[in-house]
Each structure stands twice: as structure tokens, then as C-alpha cells.
């Protein structure tokens, strides 16, 4: 079991399969993005070796993310390899959904349990503006394909950006009346160098909830107000699905955090919003033993930070969200 110095059991690994993406969301990356060359990325066999190492240390839950994980070559084989690793109980995926209409069935057959799909607005014009060119119909088809393939419960993620989609939370929330989906509203986080709107145009979870309640009536808390993962969950009375608010900026959930992140270039990062990192790929390529790598992981887990420093202006500068894995 991997414990940190605050007694948190760290057993959930988010792996970013690539920093590349087929969209350019305004809150995530600049329009002209420079991506990492393939030689610097973990190769499939390196990735699977590290997954076995983490599984041996008690990690049982894996989420694949990015960049856009579905554009990684051999994504289906990677899912199959991870899902069949002894000790791994669940493999899930965070995706923009663009390729899910093609991939859902084979991903489900390879052992993928479920998906989180990003969709920030249902309005095609606003979607194109937010993603700098995306087609919301592709994502919608991806959501339906994922549900049909049994990648459930489907969760939809929306980052809310003032001036882009703050009014659209109502239509997104309304989807839960007819669909057994969880629609989650995420506070935008700042990563140095990505874009200025991250600090000036964040919309709080509180404001999103207020806007939805003004339009659709009071929301009922689900689970007695307990967090579900990182989200506070509510329901529109009699709805099929539910609504989550993720207030990573205004009310961080550090005491419940069980996560570590592995970047596409094999760096272990223990907090999304802190720069503390441990390189695993360089020692692996230099011939480090499994015991050496194990020691590096345990030391890094032990030193997992607590709390972000956004309130005091400490913004992580060394990587963007797409380079860490959301």
C-alpha cells in the first residue's frame, strides 16, 4: 500500500498518454501549441512496465487522459494491456469524445470500464469557438456510442469560462432530466503560460449552481452532500441523472485526494497544481532496477503536497494541463 506523510492512501493513477490533441480548447492550450516529439514519450512497453510497478505498490485504479488519449496509436491494445494487469480493478478514460463513435465498442471489449467526456456547451457555434474548430455533433455521437457500448455511467465534463459558456450550464444540466448521465461543472484552473483567461474568466461552482437553480428550481443534494470523487453531487427532482460541481479552485478536496499522475514523458506528478515531480522514464531507460524505480515512486508518494497555492498567487509554471493529464 502506498501512503503519503499525511496518511492518505494513494492508489489512483492518471496516465496522460499524449500531450497532442485534435482540439485546441481556449482554457487548455494556446492556439499554436508545440507538442513533444514521439521519442520523448513513454513507449507502450515502458508504459505497461510502469503500470505493473504501480499495481505492485497497491495502485488499483487507472484513468487514461491527455492531451487527447484516443489519438494515441494502439489505444485499444494499451487499454487491454492495462486492464489485464494483475491488481488493476478499473480502467477509465477522459476524452473529448470526438473519436468515440468509432472506438467505443473496441475500447469496451478491451476492458475499458467507463468514460468521462468533455462537452462545454451544446451550442454548435459556441462549441466551435471554445474548442477552436470542434464539431459538437461529433461529441454527441461519441456520447451515444459510449453509452450504447456500456461505458457507463457516462460522465460529462464542462469547464465554465466567462464570456464563452457561462449561460450554457442550464442546457447542460437539463440533459440529466432525460439521461442517466452525470454532468459535472469544473472550475477553470490556471497553468502558467497557457492563456490569460484562466485567471480572469473563471466561474465558480457556486455561481454555476445559482444559475442552474434560477432556471430549473432547487437542486437536491445526493449522498447527503458527501463528495463523489472530487464532485459535490445534486439532482434536479425526479431527474434520471445528476449534476456535479467540481470546485478545485474555490474549495479544494486535498484531504480526500488519492491520486498521482504520470505524464506522457514518464514523469510522476503528485499534485496537478504543484510543480513537484519525479522523473521515472530517464532512470528506466538508463537501466534502473525495478527496486530503484519502486523506491522513487514510494518517496514521491510520501512527499505528495497538500493544498494548492492559488490564493497566494502560486500558479504552476512548468507544465500545462494537457502536458500533465487532467
Considering the rule CB under 6 A, would residue 28 count as an interface residue with ligand SAM? yes
DSSP calls for 103-165: HHHHHHHTT--EEEEE-S-S-HHHHHHHHTS--HHHHHHHHHHHHHTT--S-EEEEEEBTTTT
Half-sphere exposure in the Cβ direction for 299 (13 Å, CA): 11
Q: Is 152:182 a contact under the CB 8 Å cutoff?
A: no
Q: Measured from the CB of residue 150, what is the shortest distance to ligand SAM in angstroms? A: 20
Q: Is 308:314 a contact under the CB 8 Å cutoff?
A: yes
Q: Measured from the CB of residue 322, what is the shortest distance to ligand SF4 in angstroms? A: 4
Other residues' Cβ atoms within 10 Å of the Cβ of residue 111: 17
Q: Residue from 11, 67, 116, 271 that binds ligand SF4 (CB under 6 A)?
A: 67
Considering the rule CB under 6 A, would residue 23 count as an interface residue with ligand SF4? yes
From residue 32 to residue 71, what is the string marking binding to ligand SAM with x (rule CB under 6 A)?
A: ---------------------------------xx-x---
Considering the rule CB under 6 A, would residue 159 count as an interface residue with ligand SAM? yes
DSSP calls for 211-263: HHHHHH-PPEESGGG-EETTEEEEE-TT-SSEEEEE-TTTS--GGG--EEEE-
From residue 74 to residue 113, what is the string marking binding to ligand SAM with x (rule CB under 6 A)?
A: --------------------xxx-----------------
- Please identify, using beta-carbon distances, which residue of 98 and 284 lies nearer to ligand SAM: 98
DSSP calls for 172-207: HHHHHHHS--EEEEEE----TTS-THHHHSB--HHH
From residue 115 to residue 144, what is the string marking binding to ligand SF4 with x (rule CB under 6 A)?
A: ---x--------------------------
- Please identify, using beta-carbon distances, which residue of 25 and 280 lies nearer to ligand SF4: 25
Q: Measured from the CB of residue 310, what is the shortest distance to ligand SAM in angstroms? A: 11
Binding residues vs ligand SF4 (CB under 6 A): 21, 23-25, 28-29, 66-68, 96, 118, 322
Binding residues vs ligand SAM (CB under 6 A): 21, 27-28, 65-66, 68, 94-96, 118, 157, 159, 186, 188-189, 198, 321-322, 326
Amino acid at each position: 500500500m502506498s501512503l503519503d506523510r499525511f496518511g492518505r492512501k494513494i492508489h489512483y493513477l492518471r496516465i496522460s498518454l499524449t500531450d497532442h490533441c485534435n482540439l485546441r480548447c481556449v482554457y487548455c492550450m494556446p492556439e499554436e501549441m508545440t507538442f513533444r516529439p514521439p521519442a520523448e514519450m513513454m513507449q507502450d512497453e515502458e508504459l505497461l512496465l510502469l503500470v505493473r510497478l504501480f499495481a505492485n505498490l497497491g495502485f488499483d485504479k487507472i484513468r487514461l487522459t491527455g492531451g487527447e488519449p484516443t489519438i494515441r496509436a494502439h489505444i485499444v491494445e494499451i487499454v487491454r494491456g492495462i486492464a489485464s494487469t494483475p491488481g488493476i480493478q478499473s480502467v477509465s478514460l477522459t476524452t473529448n469524445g470526438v473519436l468515440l463513435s468509432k472506438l467505443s465498442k473496441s475500447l469496451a471489449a478491451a476492458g475499458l470500464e467507463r468514460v468521462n467526456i468533455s462537452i462545454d456547451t451544446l451550442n454548435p457555434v459556441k462549441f466551435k469557438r471554445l474548442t477552436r474548430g470542434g464539431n459538437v455533433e461529433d461529441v454527441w455521437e461519441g456520447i451515444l456510442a459510449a453509452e450504447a457500448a456500456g461505458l457507463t455511467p457516462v460522465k460529462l465534463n464542462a469547464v465554465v469560462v466567462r464570456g464563452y459558456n457561462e449561460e450554457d450550464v442550464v442546457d447542460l444540466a437539463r440533459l440529466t432530466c432525460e439521461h442517466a448521465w452525470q454532468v459535472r461543472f469544473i472550475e477553470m484552473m490556471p497553468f502558467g503560460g497557457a492563456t490569460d483567461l484562466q485567471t480572469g474568466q473563471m466561474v465558480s461552482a457556486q455561481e454555476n449552481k445559482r444559475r442552474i437553480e434560477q432556471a430549473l428550481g432547487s437542486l437536491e443534494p445526493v449522498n447527503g452532500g458527501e463528495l463523489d470523487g472530487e464532485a459535490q453531487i445534486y439532482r434536479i427532482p425526479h431527474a434520471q441523472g445528476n449534476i456535479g460541481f467540481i470546485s478545485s479552485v474555490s474549495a479544494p478536496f486535498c484531504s480526500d485526494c488519492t491520486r498521482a499522475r504520470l505524464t506522457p514523458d514518464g514523469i510522476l506528478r503528485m499534485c496537478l497544481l504543484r510543480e513537484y515531480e519525479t522523473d521515472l522514464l530517464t532512470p528506466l531507460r538508463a537501466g534502473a532496477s525495478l527496486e530503484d524505480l519502486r523506491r522513487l515512486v514510494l518517496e514521491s508518494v510520501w512527499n505528495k503536497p497538500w493544498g494548492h497555492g492559488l490564493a497566494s498567487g502560486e500558479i504552476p509554471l512548468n507544465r500545462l494541463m494537457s502536458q500533465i493529464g487532467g
